[in-house]
Structure 1
């Protein structure tokens, strides 16, 4: 019996299984960035301060207005095929004026659809809704670290326009 095809098949399965486990945990580089973008439909950006983040342009990389401009170590991970985003930053001199929703009742969002090595997995009990942006965020503050995520749900009572263009719910957008 020729065992060569079985050995090749087993080796291929082993390589694919190892890649599936290892690739998401590797440091960012052109290979992992390309895989995250094409396979997982996710991209990430990092800024030394919030002031370095763009204020206009692709909405995935612009920060909500409630993020203090002097915040540091800003990390963003965004789903390229929808409105899901993770944002992490460290507070500097300007305090966060607390998550708040002035108009309407925020929807209780399911757990975040994204994951990152820098994102703690146990924020659910501490999350508070933030509705002062076009999108509703769930925000957790731990000391000086702030973690915020959205699945693209529009904020209740928000005028969901950006630059005069109607903002579509994440479920109806395509990129």
Structure 2
């Protein structure tokens, strides 16, 4: 019996499985950045301070207005095909005021749509909704570390680019 096709198939599966596990955990470089962008549809950025982050441009890299300007070590991971984002930063002298959702009832999203090595896995019980940005974020504060994520859900009452408010699901008419 010719075993050559079986050996080639097994080797191919082994290489693909190793790549699937190893690539997301490699340090950023042009090869992994291209693979993350094109295959996984994800990109990441890091800023020394929140003040260094752009205030205009690609929405994925513009920080929500509730993040203090003196926050440091800002990390963002974003889906390139939607509004999902992870944001982690360290608070400076300016404290983070409590998460707020003033208009409508916030939706508690089931889980993050992204993962990163710098993102803890056990934030679910501590998450509080924050709706002061166009997107609704789930926010966890641990000492000086703040973790915020969104799956791209618009905040209740958020203004869209067209101007009208996004109505909470419970107040929409059918």
Could you state the TM-score of these two structures normalised by the residue count of structure 2? 0.91
Counterpart of 1:29?
29
User: CA 1:19–1:167 in 2, change beyond 3 Å: closer, same or farther?
Assistant: farther
Moved more, 48-57 or 23-32: 23-32
Q: Are 1:159 and 2:159 an aligned pair?
A: yes
**Gap runs ≥5 in structure 2:** 167-174
The aligned residue for residue 134 of structure 2 is 134
Deviation at 1:25, TM superposition (A): 1.0
2:73 counterpart of 1:103: no
Quote the residue 2:15 is aligned against.
15
Task: Give the deviation of 1:80 after TM superposition.
Answer: 0.6
Decide whether the 8 Å contact of 2:158 with 2:165 is kept in 1. Answer: no
Call closer, same or farther: CA 1:47–1:165 in 2, change over 3 Å: farther
Query: 1:10: how far off?
Result: 1.4
Partner of residue 68, structure 1: 68
Q: In structure 1, list runs of 5 or more residues that go unmatched.
A: 169-175
For the residues of structure 2 that align with 1:118 and 1:158, how far apart are their CA atoms?
Answer: 29
Q: Verify: 1:118 aligned to 2:118, yes or no.
A: yes
Whole-Å separation in 1 of the counterparts to 2:141 and 2:86: 14
Cα shift at 1:2: 2.7
Quote the offset at 1:39 in angstroms.
Answer: 0.7
| Alpha-carbon displacement from aligned partner over 1:60-100 (angstroms, at most 9, x marks no partner) | 00000000001000000000111100000000111101211
Distance apart, 1:11 and its partner CA: 1.2
Residues 80-127 of structure 1: CA deviation (Å, up to 9, x unaligned): 111100000000111101211111111121211100000000101000
> What's the TM-score once normalised by structure 1's chain length?
0.90
CA deviations over 1:27-73 (Å, ceiling 9, x no partner): 11111111110111000000000000000010000000000001000
Which aligned pairs between 1:32-51 and structure 2 lie closer than 5 A?
Answer: 32-51=32-51
The CA RMSD over aligned residues, in Å, is 1.6
* 2:171 counterpart residue number: none
Rounded to whole Å, the distance in 2 between the matches of 1:130 and 1:88 is 15
Q: Does 1:84 align with 2:104?
A: no
Q: Distance in 2 between matches of 1:14 and 1:75?
A: 32
Return the alpha-carbon distance in structure 1 between the equivalents of residues 45 and 4 of structure 2: 45
Cα distance in 1 for residues equivalent to 2:49 and 2:165:
27
